[in-house]
Structure 1
């Protein structure tokens, strides 16, 4: 297995084109700032944006699908334009639409971005909040990253996978809370995710979809696919909007809380095995 069978993008660039991120001072092209991610046993940034999901096992493992592991990667998408087209309610003047990042939202933390209409300032009544979510990994790719940067053959393939269970537990809980707050304001919050993650969420949590522009829709999932066969004008792989799905925070909450229960007899048998 080659290191480019593990890494899709490093510091925003296709992995086969980026072996010396230090020469770029680790500047992330998506935020125009130094990468803030850190790897194991290093003080240097760990600018891994996207990894390959593998299919098969052992020597037959092959890269099958790119999975974004850094939320800053989504900033290359036309998030504002897509929100205006698919989520925004009512007329607007595009020149008066602004996007601001990292806005504190009480004790629950920040929202990653807010798209707002500034035409009525000092009154600010029309806005949509945005949450970006990538996927954590289990295992480690640190040694493989070192081999890639050093341009040496990997001694052994790394063992890693994608921790969708943690995203379901942590991210959906936060999204429900923030969705509730936005519903009390009669506003919407958009969850920007990769198609891979939305598919995983919908497999685990069965929630009814609503029109993203409906007044009762408080949460909107906006999913993107990463096309590794096509690059944009700056040479980065292109993110493409794939699906926009609305729901209500109460519907999502009920779907999460009232999942289909596990089989009772299997649970009883597990108890017996411990006796």
Structure 2
């Protein structure tokens, strides 16, 4: 059973929001437990760390709020990156090296196996896709660390920018970089949250998604954020391993042609539900 949450950040500096003392220590130290280093989620204007790892959100038609990861570094743990190791040949030492240049940009990680002399024996590209928000979570952060304010009283000013996160970012990369990995005969893996896969299935042609096949160039490792009452933290658990060929990726980039616009009254109802 998951704890009841609402529309506000549910993790600060890697801590579930009820663990205020640990979260305050994380803020003072400016520390990200997933990186083991300084928090990299910062305000552009002042440069202060924001420290919000995930937020509560409830999509249309859903009955309860669920944690949605909004920081890519939330994925950068040994357990998550280690889930890729079984893809590779048995011999050699496993590695995961960050920010490898490709096609005028970079791959978040390249993981694989290397020989004792450093020769790469096997590899795969790894892209991390957290979710972007619309609006700001800063006021929630301020409310949380101000004991005189109630975080739940702060107006809900943020949403999830699904289009930017998924179709305009992830699927474009999957299509462009996926062709290169297909030509190489290697895999490009996206680490995503289950809520992202659910959104794609609900809004796009996801018929090209299937249980992971090694001959497909593009893979999606879908993770759930599940609360552990033992650790009092949210922890990643692998949910599905999926893959697609380039044709399947193409289908997930454009909304189906038969998608009908809502009526004016339906759209007004959607607006009212946002209040």
TM range (shorter): 0.7 to 0.9
Structure 1 residue 166: Cα displacement: 1.4
Which string of whole-angstrom CA distances, capped at 9 and with x for unpartnered residues, describes residues 83-112 of structure 1?
Answer: 233xx15x413x6111111211131x1111
Q: Please report the TM-score for the alignment, with normalisation by the length of structure 1.
A: 0.80
Q: Counterpart of 1:72?
A: 73
| 1:184 counterpart = 2:180 | no
Task: Write the distance in 1 (CA, Å) between the matches of 2:244 and 2:19.
Answer: 40
Residue 15 (structure 2) aligned to one of 13, 16, 21:
13
Q: What SS is found at the alignment partner of 2:111?
A: strand
The superposition leaves residues 117-174 of structure 1 with CA deviations (integer Å, 9 ceiling, x where unpaired) of 1127454241011111111111222112101111222453322211112122222111
From the superposition, tell whether residues 23 and 238 of structure 1 become closer, same or farther in structure 2 (CA, over 3 Å).
closer
- The range that moved more, 235-244 or 119-128, is 119-128
Aligned with 2:200: secondary structure? Answer: helix
CA gap 1:62/1:246 in 2 versus in 1, 3 angstroms: closer
Aligned length: 253
Match of residue 273 from structure 2: none
Contact 1:40–1:142, Cα closer than 8 Å, also in 2:
no
Alpha-carbon distance in structure 1 between the residues aligned to 2:169 and 2:73: 18
1:1-275 matches, cutoff 5 A: 6-18=8-20, 19-21=23-25, 24-39=28-43, 42-54=46-58, 64-76=65-77, 78-85=79-86, 88=87, 91-93=89-91, 96-107=93-104, 109-119=105-115, 121-151=117-147, 152-154=149-151, 155-167=153-165, 168-203=167-202, 204-215=204-215, 217-232=216-231, 236-257=233-254, 259-262=256-259
5+ residue gaps in structure 2? Answer: 264-275
Which deviations, in whole Å up to 9, do the C-alpha atoms of 1:18-63 show, x marking residues without a partner? 452565421111112211222375331111001011479xxxx996
Is the 2:100–2:109 contact (alpha carbons within 8 Å) kept by the matching residues of 1?
yes
Quote the RMSD (CA, aligned, Å): 3.0
Structure 1 residues 221, 248: closer, same or farther in 2, change over 3 A?
A: same
Counterpart for residue 273 of structure 1 = none
| CA distance in 2: counterparts of 1:136 and 1:8, whole angstroms | 16
Q: Are the equivalent residues in 2 in contact too, given 1:230–1:238 (CA < 8 A)?
A: no
CA contact (8 A) 2:143 2:154 kept: no
Stretch deviating more after TM superposition (184-193 or 122-131): 122-131
CA contact (8 A) 1:102 1:111 kept: yes
What is the TM-score normalised by the length of structure 2? 0.80
8 Å Cα contact 2:174-2:249 kept in structure 1: no
Deviates more, 1:26-35 or 1:44-53: 26-35
The answer to whether the 8 A contact 2:13-2:27 is kept is: no
